[in-house]
Structure 1
Amino acid sequence: MSDWSALPGRTNRRTTRRRAAVPVRRAVLATGAAAAALALTACGSGGTSGGSADTKFVAGTGGIDTAERGDRQPLPAITGTTIDGKKLDLSDYQGKVLVLNVWGSWCPPCRAEMPHLVKVAKDTKADGVEFVGINTRDSSKPPAQKFEKEFAVPYPSLYDPMGKLMLRFPAGSLNPKAIPSTVIVDREGRIAARALKALGEDELRKTLEPLIAEK
């Protein structure tokens, strides 16, 4: 039996459609490259990081990476609008130990860790520790607002639906590249630690203690 699509004058419609779709697929991939980089989430397929002479941070066995005091990179300039519509500039937290948590209302690990973050935020405020969230990949504010109300989150969160604020962190630094991620900044505004996973209360306190003690 002859192959109908191979006869003279015939065009394989499936092949034509497949070839026509390639440029569109490539365009979609190119447009979403930045978003794809942030899609490596604990809610999906999270990753781990390792320390090296170039990055100058040490990969912790528990998934928390740290940098020695002399090797810390400065927190990039990050400003924006909170979920409640207020302006926020992270440079205002200079002199405080800053815990910066990246979360999404759609993310189960974010829901699991939030009670721990809330408790530690309340307990350490008197020690000069401040918390700020970065809400990402929520296409509208109501789900994020509902999330904050449900967990009685006592600190503000920047609204960053496209993940643009996360891309401001320099490559090779202790940058947030998963959801959830937690970045801890020392009193001098330098990145001291990072977790690419949901944190428990005890490990968060353990990470904060030496930074609180720094003068």
Structure 2
Amino acid sequence: MRAQSFAAVALLIAVAGCAGNQGSQPQTGDTRFVAGDGKITLFEAADRKVAPQVQGETLDGGTASLAAHKGKIVVLNFWASWCAPCRAEAPVLKDISAKTKADGVEFLGIDFKDRKADALAFERSHQSGYPSIFDQPGKVALSFQGTVPPAAIPSTLIIDRQGRIAARALGAVKYTDLLAAVTKVGDER
């Protein structure tokens, strides 16, 4: 009987933890977040949706927006310090950002549902070379609902020169796949 009571209390605590504060760091077994395989889906030009307005305070205290990169290819990456696949793909994003910058490709991170101190530590460790908007409440992520599930992390979008969503990857991206997709969208005129 005592073991059943303990199990019931443990279950209640686990359920309460998952349904708790949405802004908190996810706990082990948290099902609010959606995993992906990192496969990049390219959208035909006629099927592309205009990206929503994205702007906000960056982790370093500045500001960033999609509008500031009008006419350029922009790679948006949704990440968080607590996300293991985000840590795994960070070197890929850093390398491709550096490799494509001369071609006019801009990278912008969206730090999602994170603690600022943890996100800053992640940035210091990975030195991405591009800014990240601090999106603790998840408002930027929600603005992409319909294209990216709000709980899919990491996620990467490629925005074309017309400000439309040209490609999407749910999950950690692979180097050759992301570079090929960025190059293909960049070659469009």
Provide TM-score, normalisation by structure 2: 0.80
In the other structure, the counterpart of 2:33 is: 40
Q: CA deviation at 1:136?
A: 1.1
Q: Which amino acid aligns with 2:84?
A: P
Unaligned stretches of 5+ residues in structure 1: 1-13, 15-20, 49-61
Q: Could you tell me how far apart the structure 1 residues matched to 2:94 and 2:119 are?
A: 15
Q: CA deviation at 1:30?
A: 10
Q: Could you tell me how far apart the structure 1 residues matched to 2:131 and 2:98 are?
A: 13
Q: Which amino acid aligns with 1:76?
A: P
Does residue 160 of structure 2 align to residue 186 of structure 1?
Answer: yes
Cα deviation digits, residues 148-193 of structure 1 (max 9, x gap): 111111000000112111101242x356641100011001100010
Q: Which of the two has higher C-alpha Rg? A: 1
1:165 aligned counterpart, secondary structure: helix
CA contact (8 A) 1:174 1:191 kept: no
Count of residue pairs brought into register by the alignment: 170
Unaligned stretches of 5+ residues in structure 2: 6-11
Q: CA deviation at 1:47?
A: 5.0
Higher RCO (CA < 8 A, seq sep 6+): 2
Q: Could you tell me how far apart the structure 1 residues matched to 2:114 and 2:20 are?
A: 21
Q: Could you tell me how far apart the structure 2 residues matched to 1:192 and 1:177 are?
A: 20
In the other structure, the counterpart of 2:95 is: 119
Q: Could you tell me how far apart the structure 2 residues matched to 1:105 and 1:207 are?
A: 25
Q: Could you tell me how far apart the structure 1 residues matched to 2:148 and 2:81 are?
A: 23
2:152 aligned counterpart, secondary structure: coil
Q: Could you tell me how far apart the structure 2 residues matched to 1:144 and 1:113 are?
A: 15
Q: CA deviation at 1:134?
A: 0.3
In the other structure, the counterpart of 2:8 is: none
CA contact (8 A) 1:175 1:194 kept: no
2:71 aligned counterpart, secondary structure: coil
In the other structure, the counterpart of 2:135 is: 160
Q: What is the alpha-carbon root mean square deviation over aligned residues? A: 2.6
2:153 aligned counterpart, secondary structure: coil
In the other structure, the counterpart of 1:205 is: 179
In the other structure, the counterpart of 2:49 is: 73
CA contact (8 A) 1:177 1:196 kept: no
Q: Which amino acid aligns with 1:73?
A: K
Q: Could you tell me how far apart the structure 2 residues matched to 1:30 and 1:39 are?
A: 11
2:139 aligned counterpart, secondary structure: coil
Identify if the C-alpha distance between structure 1 residues 208 and 176 changes in structure 2 by more than 3 Å, giving closer, same or farther: farther
CA contact (8 A) 1:175 1:183 kept: no
Q: Could you tell me how far apart the structure 2 residues matched to 1:177 and 1:205 are?
A: 25
Provide TM-score, normalisation by structure 1: 0.71
Q: Which amino acid aligns with 2:168?
A: R
Identical positions, percent: 42
Cα deviation digits, residues 18-55 of structure 1 (max 9, x gap): xxx9xxx7xx95985xx99x9323xxxx257xxxxxxx
